[in-house]
């Protein structure tokens, strides 16, 4: 329904035009049949679009996405081109890219997939009825349905890919925000962890910690896990991998916030802590870290 720069469109699966045509059973003869019918009845598309936009104006999506006259005119022009191209009967890689662009455009503007399916289904019903009214053969109707299925598969696949990529990007941004490695003193880094730790977050913790150590040449790294909800075998192993990696870079790690239950869990799991330094409180860990870099701490009363 709208256009995009085709070079920016990617898809999770490669849609080879000839392969898709074979899968859908569309033959050269059927494509020629569609082309001949489109040339003999050019008014069908415009008449179908007029009925479609009468229906669309009654939906909540119309007022949210298409109420602006300039936007509506642009969308209508692109939709007209879309169906003129479908009735041209030429399905090649450029045709596939044009359908991918539709999926990307819908995802970018946030059009719900339900809106696309509803609109696609309604337009297909309207256009199919007009084909019947003009004595279209059963073979032509089947070929037209196959083209609609072809278009829908490409649009939906691209739409899903864009949405998934956006969600992944947002999750990565949130993950980066949730692993703020801070230099609290010259040579001392501190990272408080809150919530759950899965393999993806563990990798993010590893990457951000090592990058910060490399940047600051830190000598001590304090990892506070008092806010970690659950410590199981996977979580414990991930944490200890982080500390081993920091040690390889010449930076001593201290894990703070070990509650009695977490300590017991680590013992029960039989995890080898090796030379790992641990403390029960963050205060003790920071005091130990300052001691390691030669900074004295005095308490005032």
pLDDT tens across 11-45, in order? 444 567 777 777 777 888 888 998 999 899 989 99
The residue written with tokens 């692993």 in the block is 179
Please give the pLDDT value at position 146: 86
Does residue 201 share a domain with residue 120?
no
pLDDT tens across 101-112, in order? 888 887 777 888
Is 177 part of a structural domain of the chain? Answer: no
Least confident of 9-18, 87-96, 131-140, 212-221: 9-18
Mean pLDDT in residue range 115-131: 90
Where residue 158 falls (left for φ over 0; alpha for ψ -120 to 50; beta otherwise) is: alpha
Q: What is the pTM of this model?
A: 0.53
Confidence of residue 211 (pLDDT cuts 50, 70, 90): very high
Overall number of domains in the chain = 2
Instruction: Report how far residue 25's alpha carbon sits from residue 10's, in angstroms, rounded to the nearest whole number.
Output: 25
Confidence of residue 130 (pLDDT cuts 50, 70, 90): very high
Does residue 87 share a domain with residue 160?
yes
Among 140, 172, 204, the domain boundary falls at: 172
Q: Within 13 Å of residue 294, how many CA atoms lie on the same side as its CB? A: 3
Confidence of residue 10 (pLDDT cuts 50, 70, 90): very low
Does residue 131 share a domain with residue 11?
yes
How many angstroms separate the Cα of 186 from the Cα of each of 192, 248, 251, 289? 18, 20, 13, 11
CATH, residue 256: 3.30.750.24
First to last CA, the chain: 72
Please give the pLDDT value at position 144: 87
1: pLDDT strictly greater than 60: no
The parent domain of residue 58 ranges over: 6-172
Where residue 34 falls (left for φ over 0; alpha for ψ -120 to 50; beta otherwise) is: alpha
pLDDT tens across 232-276, in order? 777 777 788 888 899 899 999 999 988 777 777 777 767 666 667
Please give the pLDDT value at position 171: 61
Instruction: Report how far residue 219's alpha carbon sits from residue 28's, in angstroms, rounded to the nearest whole number.
Output: 71
Does residue 118 share a domain with residue 45?
yes
Identify the burial level of 55 via C-beta atoms within 10 angstroms of its C-beta, where 0-12 means exposed, 13-18 middle and 19 or more buried.
middle
Please give the pLDDT value at position 227: 84
CB 225 within 8 A of CB 262: yes
CATH, residue 70: 1.10.490.10
């Amino acid at each position: 329904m709208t256009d995009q720069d085709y070079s920016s469109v990617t898809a999770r699966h490669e849609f080879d035009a000839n392969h898709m045509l074979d899968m859908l059973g569309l033959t050269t003869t059927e494509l020629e049949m569609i082309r001949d019918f489109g040339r003999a009845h050019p008014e069908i598309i415009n008449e179908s679009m007029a009925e479609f936009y009468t229906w669309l104006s009654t939906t909540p999506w119309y007022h949210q996405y298409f109420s602006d006259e300039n936007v509506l005119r642009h969308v209508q022009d692109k939709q007209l081109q879309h169906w003129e191209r479908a009735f041209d009967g030429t399905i090649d890689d450029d045709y596939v890219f044009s359908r991918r662009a539709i999926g990307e455009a819908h995802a970018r503007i946030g059009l719900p997939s339900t809106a696309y399916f509803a609109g696609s289904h309604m337009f297909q019903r309207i256009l199919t009825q007009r084909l019947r009214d003009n004595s279209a053969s059963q073979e032509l109707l089947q070929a037209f349905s196959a083209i609609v299925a072809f278009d829908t598969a490409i649009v939906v696949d691209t739409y899903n890919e864009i949405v998934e990529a956006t969600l992944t990007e947002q999750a990565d941004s949130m993950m980066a925000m949730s692993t703020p490695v801070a230099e609290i003193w010259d040579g001392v880094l501190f990272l408080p962890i809150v919530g759950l730790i899965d393999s993806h977050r563990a990798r993010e913790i590893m990457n951000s910690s090592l990058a910060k150590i490399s940047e600051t040449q830190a000598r001590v790294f304090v990892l506070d896990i008092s806010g970690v909800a659950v410590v199981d075998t996977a979580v414990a192993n991930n944490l200890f991998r982080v500390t081993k990696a920091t040690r390889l870079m010449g930076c001593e790690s201290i894990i703070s916030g070990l509650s009695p239950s977490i300590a017991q869990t680590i013992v029960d799991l039989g995890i080898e802590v090796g030379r790992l330094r641990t403390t029960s409180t963050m205060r003790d860990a920071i005091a130990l870290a300052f001691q390691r870099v030669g900074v004295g701490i005095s308490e005032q009363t």
